[in-house]
Chains A and B, each alone.
Chain A
Amino acid sequence: EDQVTQSPEALRLQEGESSSLNCSYTVSGLRGLFWYRQDPGKGPEFLFTLYSAGEEKEKERLKATLTKKESFLHITAPKPEDSATYLCAVRVTSGTYKYIFGTGTRLKVLA
């Protein structure tokens, strides 16, 4: 069964304390892995798409990497405004395309 698991469920960091969020997946026919950020009361905001193992993408303090079994979202020197829920999603083919989201990591960055 296709599955996406994110860890940790919640993470508290001090401002400037770098860390990584994990997204592990067990799927067949991966056609892209997506990272989103979601603020309370809002829809998810697209961050990155990764398509193949070894691929990396960066945006400001965020860097996403992909292996054959997992993806990491590295947050370097986070600021309080980085506090949000970070969601990982995979698009897979099983007959037709299917989209599976993880349950997210709630990140809180303290000033």
Chain B
Amino acid sequence: KAGVTQTPRYLIKTRGQQVTLSCSPISGHRSVSWYQQTPGQGLQFLFEYFSETQRNKGNFPGRFSGRQFSNSRSEMNVSTLELGDSALYLCASSLGGDGYTFGSGTRLTVV
């Protein structure tokens, strides 16, 4: 059974640019969540989507946005990149209720 797939694995962007990250959940999983992981802050919740609707949102600025498509695939977008946005971005899917299955993440470096 395929796991959660995130693309790309690595990305280097310049300050001020925007970036789009992609996540394909496990087949049948309708809930997709995004997290930012940094050495100093650990894992921080960005947002959760369920059946194309944003169900929860963390405390991140409006530059961070996401969406979910009818096939449950999800994308997150970060506009006007800042150096502090450098992090590992993790996507996770679930059937709902219990633990997540995480992807391997996208390592974003902003220079």
Q: How far is the CB of A95 from chain B (nearest CB, A)?
A: 9
A44 touches B90 (CB 8 A): yes
Q: How far is the CB of A99 from chain B (nearest CB, A)?
A: 5
Assuming the contacts A43-B105, A96-B55, asked whether A101 and B100 have C-beta atoms less than 8 A apart, the reply is no
- The residue that A98 contacts in the complex, of B42, B56, B100, B101, with Cβ under 8 A, is B56
Assuming the contacts A96-B55, A97-B56, asked whether A46 and B103 have C-beta atoms less than 8 A apart, the reply is no
Chain A interface, DSSP helix/strand/loop, else mixed = strand
Chain B positions within 8 Å of A, measured between CB atoms, are 4, 33, 35, 41-45, 48, 55-56, 58, 90, 92, 98-105
A37 to B93 CA separation, bound complex (whole angstroms): 16
Number of A-B pairs whose CB atoms are under 8 Å? Answer: 55
Residues of A within 8 A of B45 (CB): 98-101
* Chain A, 96-111, CB within 8 A of any chain B CB: 96-104
B102 touches A45 (CB 8 A): yes
Chain B interface, DSSP helix/strand/loop, else mixed = strand
Assuming the contacts A96-B55, A98-B58, asked whether A43 and B42 have C-beta atoms less than 8 A apart, the reply is no
Residues of A within 8 A of B102 (CB): 36, 43-46
* Any B CB within 8 A of the CB of A54: no
Residues of A within 8 A of B100 (CB): 34, 44, 46
* Chain A, 45-89, CB within 8 A of any chain B CB: 45-49, 87, 89
B90 touches A43 (CB 8 A): yes
